[in-house]
Amino acid sequence: MNDFDLRVGDIVRFREWDDMAAEFGTVGDSVCVPYHFTREMRYLCGHLAKVRRVSKDDDYDCTEVYLSSCDDDPINVGPFAFSLPMFEPASIAQDFETDDPMLLFSAGEGATP
């Protein structure tokens, strides 16, 4: 599900718990993605965050993602470690409802007024 590249400044959405659990399985109170997505992190599901840094973690053979809260969704991302399978791309056009055709045109790639 995570066939996308992250860059600094990208906005991502935390995947829903059930979605990750169905794809990766669980052990105890964690979803089995790299770094584990724990019950304590569940409040993040569905929320947006901004990518601050992306790096390769050779020990876990995964992409480590550093985040900050997003201006449009100010949530505390906590002291957690994150990996790429915990996210899905966030589209501005899908995240904000508006009837303003100029906003949709300027925000959404390929959107038409």
Distance separating alpha carbons of residues 43 and 46, to the nearest angstrom? 8
- The predicted-structure confidence for 73-112, as pLDDT tens digits, reads as follows 788 888 899 999 999 988 744 444 444 444 333 333 333 3
Q: Beta partners for 67?
A: 51
Average pLDDT over residues 7-19: 93
Q: What angle do CA 49, 51, 53 make, to 5 degrees?
A: 150
What are the tens digits of pLDDT across the range 16-51?
999 999 999 999 999 999 999 999 999 999 999 999
| Residue 15 reports pLDDT greater than 50 | yes
Residue 73 has what pLDDT? 77
pLDDT bracket for residue 3 (50, 70, 90): low
Q: How confident is the model at residue 2 (pLDDT cuts 50, 70, 90)?
A: low
